[in-house]
Structure 1
Amino acid sequence: MAVAYDPENVFAKILRGEIPSHKVYEDDVALAIMDIMPRAEGHVLVIPKKPARGLLDIAPDDLAALIKRVQHVAKATKRAFDAEGITLQQFNESAGGQVIFHLHFHILPRFEGVALRPPGAMGDQAKIKSQAEKIRAALGAFSA
């Protein structure tokens, strides 16, 4: 049985401006924000503006538009941090590791030999803000 989308989830509140965030990118399709509990330097989240609980219930055309934004932000993030690679994560339902039930993609800049930090630790907000600025600057070099 499908579980309904909850419009009171934290990402829905961020989209409505009820909770502050460090914005990296925004258009009519998606919002990209810094993760406040980063597992890597430059950890970004990309969320659709349309309500979607997960990958399995978003309309295919909406997913196609969203993934273009994910790629756009991932390229800029890799460039901003001069990363050797990118890890892209997306979880569905509790059994799949999802914690916030609004579709989102994690973009994590990666370097050989550098492990991801454990989940759940709050990051330094000043550092996260600075990293958002760095990614926004790199976004200027790309077009969606």
Structure 2
Amino acid sequence: MNKNIFQKIIKNEIFAYKVAENSDHLAFLDIHPVKIGHTLVIPKKSNRDKIFSLTEKQFISIMSFTRKVAIGIKKTVPCNRIGIFVMGFEIPHVHIHLIPMDQENDGNFSKERIILSKTKFQFLSKKIKKSIEI
């Protein structure tokens, strides 16, 4: 069975700008963000592709982790709020998008994505990581 990109990130086969990690979850910057600070949260041990197919314990655990990551992003990236999106059509692995938002349109996945330099990604990931209390 072929591994998807998230499974490769979990196994450190593909680099990611990680901002938080524990034994069950991983959060990292989206490399094609809709807004600066756009972060993905994934479970490390489940290969399910739909969030509501997680067990209740897994669901509560990922949401608790996601909350901590969102609070850290909000401390770091100027915005009105952090939007949470669960769609999962592009990669068959449960993932949650956390997006800094000032207006509803900031969560529009159809708009052109932001391009950031490696330096900006490194700076942003380190800054967010310092603000997250896991």
* TM norm structure 2: 0.87
- 2:12 maps to which residue? 17
Counterpart mapping for 1:90-129 below 5 A: 90-92=86-88, 98-112=89-103, 115-116=106-107, 118=111, 122-129=115-122
Compare CA radii of gyration and give the structure with the larger one.
Answer: 1
Over the aligned positions, Cα root-mean-square deviation in angstroms equals 2.1
CA contact (8 A) 1:37 1:119 kept: no
* TM norm structure 1: 0.81
Separation of aligned partners in 2, 1:114 and 1:127: 23
Letter in 2 for 1:129: Q
> Unaligned regions of 5+ residues in structure 2, if any?
none
Shift of 1:61: 0.6
Which one is further off, 34-43 or 46-55? 46-55
| Structure number having the greater helix percentage | 2
CA contact (8 A) 1:23 1:34 kept: yes
Shift of 1:113: 8.3
Letter in 1 for 2:41: V
- 1:59 maps to which residue? 55
1:45 aligned to 2:40? yes
- Quick one: structure 1 residues 91 and 115, their matched pair in 2 at CA, closer, same or farther if it must change by over 3 Å? closer
Shift of 1:56: 2.8
Separation of aligned partners in 2, 1:7 and 1:31: 20
1:131 aligned to 2:124? yes
